[in-house]
Structure 1
Amino acid sequence: MEDAHQKLDVIIVGAGLAGLAAAISCGLAKHNITVLEAARQLTEIGAGLQITPNASRLFKAWGIETEVAALAAEPSLLAVHRYSDGKILAQEDAFDQNIRRKYDAPFIDMHRVDLQKILYKRAIELGVDVRLNHRILKVDDASGSKPRVVLESGQSLECDVVVGADGLWSKCRESMLGKADAPLPTGDLAYRIVLEIDKITDPELRSRISNPEVHFWIGPQAHAVGYSLRGGTMYNIVLLCPDDLPPGLSRLNGSVGEMQDLFTNWDPILTRFLRQVDSVDKWKLMHRAEVPSWTNIQKNFVLIGDSCHPMLPYLAQGANSSIEDGAVLGRLLSYVRSKAQIPWAIELYESLRKSRSEMIVRETFHQRDAFHMPDGDSQIERDTLFLSQLGKEVDAKFPSRWTCPEVQPWLYGYDAIKEADNAAILSLSKRC
């Protein structure tokens, strides 16, 4: 990796978490990186994020570990409660210590905007050219040896590699498929809430916020999750329930009263938090069908993040897997010594990332099924399994994949840089 290599001109479409992760990783590989972002200002909409060790370990490698820690909250406990009375079904104490011991990286909770700003700053430090208010029309990859990004302004930009990181409503995806391809509803929606501790007078709620923990409440066709942000000065709540938004609407100002009514008979701690809310938005949760390939035939145009594998938020892996994508792609491009090697790197990226990401997508639906069971025989069987492991180190396939001994190591133990290095070295040795 220290040998001289030919610098590539890489255009990344989108300055969300996936695009900025790719920009940092490609920037560290010493390529020329341009990021095109449609927004006039870099303020990503959103609330809390749960950053798991598969992504957080990258922050140290990228030189942003200290900045992230200053704005994060690291939960010391993770608990799952029955919705109606708050009964604890599962609980892991010393969660922060256990995660660090097992994965040598933390589980942290952050505001999405905070993480985006840190990634943006690091990308700029690495010489990445981020251009705001640059909305693309299409990617043209059939006119010559190099792909071109065509902007709505009429300008076109040619490069060696185009990275489509433009999210759920991706123009890059449409260009690659050659057709319109609208996201599909999952049948669920999310109410997203952020509360500030300074505006809350209830001492028990304030204590919950200032001592970071993760709490899930699971019930029929719905569940809720709450956790602290910004060192225990903010609280993020997400309510997941059946989608009642009209067709064609993906986001709507919600009714606080309607939201509170939906969760009236839930754990009093949760409903007390919900009584602190003065405004709320409803977000339709969308997904996409798997596509045969994330790359074009020429292997110089590739999709990452939500443009190719959007995820339900039930394992908090949408952001984490997008960051993984960017890390793997940039690391593989660090091995490219000439433009003739671009297809090799892109093919290797897809082989490393596609199967894992699509497996995570499927696992999120399984988690929804486990958390949204209606009251009845299956729910009783699930809760019996939960309670059989309470107070023990879990040793069975578990309804909560957050602490499942089969799923958690596979999710959290992934090391994107090591995976890319091992695959590149093995592949190059076979080519010699």
Structure 2
Amino acid sequence: MADTSSSPPVLSVLVVGCGLSGLASALALAQAGQRVTVFERCAKLQEIGAGIQLSPNATCLLQHWGVLEEVLKYADRPEAGTFRSCRGDVISHSPPVTHPKLVCEAPYIVIHRADLLKALLSGIERRGIDVEIKLGSSVSEVDFNKPSLRLSTGEVCEADLILGADGQRSYCRSGMLGCEDPPFSPGDVVYRVSVPMKEVNENHPAWDLKKRSSVNLWMGQGGHVVSYLIQHDILNLVLIYAERETCEAKYGPQRADMEEFRSKISGWDPILHRLLEVEGSVCTKWTLFQIQELSQWRHESGRFVLIGDAAHAILPCLAQGAAQAFEDAGVLGAIFSQPVRPDQIPDALRVFEEVRRPRASDVRHRTLDQKAMFALADGPEQEERDVQLRSGADYRLFEWLWDYNAVQDGQEAWKRFLTDQTHHNGV
């Protein structure tokens, strides 16, 4: 439990789940001087999926934690983003990371999810940050009041604070709510093709996608396609498509026939169809899931809180899933880097949620708006969207979304709480 022999006290923190959310929060809290143990049910760390985009609101946190250099060893840095019609016509070139209004100087990067996890672990080890990770440790019970965890082995672990970072299908979330709360499918399906670009030469129509690292987005009725390079020579080609009437909800990637992908983009840019023909390309598909928006992330005991996808899983249409998990970690680390007594933990979690839940909710709703905008059929709404993109209206969204400092927000919120408490007590 809490070490009261030193000032500020060292708090013991248990984290359930060692995905990107759990690992980032463990890193941030350990750097803040807390004693952190992470429990992961899998015997080996692995991330489902392939490519991931990290915008400056995420990479500035990696920079703050001192692990960005390690991450950049594995990452690609797109020069720009290009919006296209489904037929391939360029609507706008959008390099928002170099927009002069952005104060944040952290880069926009794309990276394989497994490489990001590997880089975070390597950065933690290289910097000598003390995080204990227990693999193959399945949690069978959470006592939210004590708080403590019971493992499948029968071992009970007590702490000052527990974080539930166990993803969309969170055991912790169901336990805290007192009922099953499974993710639900709105009927959107993802098709992903990993294209080995070493097979693409200068005579191939997709050569430009190989020679110039960029994020490309094709928008058409019912869905959109996004592409970018990962691991320097693999093109991550992803289609998000509304398939409400025929979708069979399956969790996690399943092998898919390339013809399925091809049929969804019939009549779209010929370059996309040529990419599907590249030798060695592999197609997978999976169903997108959402969770109900929660009115509260923390347990009434004030000693447990949900973070990451367990608290606010969102669709990938704004490329903010990992970034929002990192923002959780940034705010937690900022609050608990300042003196927090054990009896103040409930206040700290309340301040954390007051900072994070409104922004995460805004991101969720803007993501849904973006998904709808990307999937417009040809017509007046689509024409107006294209006019807005050409005018640079998307910069306003990027400015709000990316030019954000979670650490500063967390620090200022906790200082305001302490100041208000002092005034309230008449000190």
Q: Does 1:360 align with 2:350?
A: no
Counterpart code for 1:106: P
Aligned-partner Cα distance in 2 for 1:372–1:52: 22
Encode CA deviations 1:169-195: one digit per residue, 9 max, x unaligned: 101101110111110112211112333
The alpha-carbon deviation at position 97 of structure 1 amounts to 3.4
Q: Which residue number corresponds to residue 144 of structure 2?
A: 141
Q: Which residue number corresponds to residue 111 of structure 2?
A: 110
User: What does 1:215-294 align with in structure 2 at a 5 Å threshold?
Assistant: 215-230=216-231, 232-243=232-243, 244-247=246-249, 251-276=253-278, 278-294=281-297
Question: Matched residue of 2:254: which SS?
Answer: strand
Encode CA deviations 1:232-255: one digit per residue, 9 max, x unaligned: 322211111123432465543211
Question: Matched residue of 2:189: which SS?
Answer: strand
Q: Does 1:166 align with 2:166?
A: yes
Contact 2:57 / 2:323 at 8 angstroms: preserved in 1?
yes
Contact 2:250 / 2:287 at 8 angstroms: preserved in 1?
no
Q: Which residue number corresponds to residue 64 of structure 2?
A: 61
User: What does 1:14-413 align with in structure 2 at a 5 Å threshold?
Assistant: 14-84=17-87, 86-92=88-94, 95-98=96-99, 102-124=103-125, 125-142=128-145, 146-201=146-201, 203-204=203-204, 205-230=206-231, 232-243=232-243, 244-247=246-249, 251-276=253-278, 278-387=281-390, 389=391, 394=392, 398=393, 404-413=394-403
Encode CA deviations 1:16-60: one digit per residue, 9 max, x unaligned: 111111011001011110001111111211111110010101112
Counterpart code for 1:193: V
Counterpart code for 2:71: V
Q: Does 1:414 align with 2:404?
A: yes
* Structure 1 residues 337 and 366: alpha-carbon distance in aligned structure 2, compared to 1, 3 A threshold: closer
Aligned-partner Cα distance in 1 for 2:256–2:101: 38
Aligned-partner Cα distance in 2 for 1:422–1:5: 18
Aligned-partner Cα distance in 1 for 2:200–2:90: 25
Counterpart code for 2:92: A
Contact 2:164 / 2:173 at 8 angstroms: preserved in 1?
yes
Aligned-partner Cα distance in 2 for 1:42–1:246: 28
Counterpart code for 1:368: K
TM-score by structure 1 length? Answer: 0.90
Aligned-partner Cα distance in 2 for 1:99–1:10: 40
Aligned-partner Cα distance in 2 for 1:323–1:67: 16
Aligned-partner Cα distance in 1 for 2:51–2:169: 21
Question: Matched residue of 1:405: which SS?
Answer: helix
The alpha-carbon deviation at position 278 of structure 1 amounts to 3.6
Aligned-partner Cα distance in 2 for 1:353–1:101: 21
Aligned-partner Cα distance in 2 for 1:189–1:303: 26
Aligned-partner Cα distance in 2 for 1:29–1:104: 23
Counterpart code for 1:30: G
Aligned-partner Cα distance in 2 for 1:34–1:68: 23
Q: Which residue number corresponds to residue 401 of structure 1?
A: none
Contact 1:149 / 1:156 at 8 angstroms: preserved in 2?
yes
Which has the higher mean CA deviation after the structures are superposed, 332-341 or 220-229? Answer: 332-341
Aligned-partner Cα distance in 1 for 2:143–2:100: 45
Contact 1:315 / 1:364 at 8 angstroms: preserved in 2?
yes
Aligned-partner Cα distance in 2 for 1:109–1:100: 22
Percent identity over paired residues: 32
What 5-or-longer segments of structure 2 have no aligned partner?
Answer: 1-5, 423-427
Contact 1:19 / 1:165 at 8 angstroms: preserved in 2?
yes
* Structure 1 residues 268 and 248: alpha-carbon distance in aligned structure 2, compared to 1, 3 A threshold: closer
Q: How many pairs does the alignment contain?
A: 411
Contact 2:334 / 2:408 at 8 angstroms: preserved in 1?
no
Aligned-partner Cα distance in 2 for 1:412–1:99: 13
* Structure 1 residues 60 and 180: alpha-carbon distance in aligned structure 2, compared to 1, 3 A threshold: same
Counterpart code for 1:417: V
Encode CA deviations 1:318-359: one digit per residue, 9 max, x unaligned: 010001101111221122342111111111111000010011
The alpha-carbon deviation at position 377 of structure 1 amounts to 3.0
Question: Matched residue of 1:406: which SS?
Answer: helix
Aligned-partner Cα distance in 1 for 2:208–2:70: 25
RMSD in angstroms over aligned alpha carbons? 1.9
* Structure 1 residues 386 and 30: alpha-carbon distance in aligned structure 2, compared to 1, 3 A threshold: closer
Encode CA deviations 1:300-331: one digit per residue, 9 max, x unaligned: 10000100101110100001000110111122
Counterpart code for 2:192: R
The alpha-carbon deviation at position 153 of structure 1 amounts to 2.8
Question: Matched residue of 1:137: which SS?
Answer: strand
The alpha-carbon deviation at position 386 of structure 1 amounts to 3.6
Contact 1:43 / 1:113 at 8 angstroms: preserved in 2?
yes
Contact 2:216 / 2:226 at 8 angstroms: preserved in 1?
yes
Aligned-partner Cα distance in 2 for 1:422–1:378: 41
Counterpart code for 1:414: Y
Contact 2:196 / 2:281 at 8 angstroms: preserved in 1?
no
Question: Matched residue of 1:186: which SS?
Answer: coil
Encode CA deviations 1:61-92: one digit per residue, 9 max, x unaligned: 111121122221111121110102x1111212
Which has the higher mean CA deviation after the structures are superposed, 192-201 or 334-343? Answer: 192-201
The alpha-carbon deviation at position 281 of structure 1 amounts to 1.6
Aligned-partner Cα distance in 2 for 1:307–1:32: 22
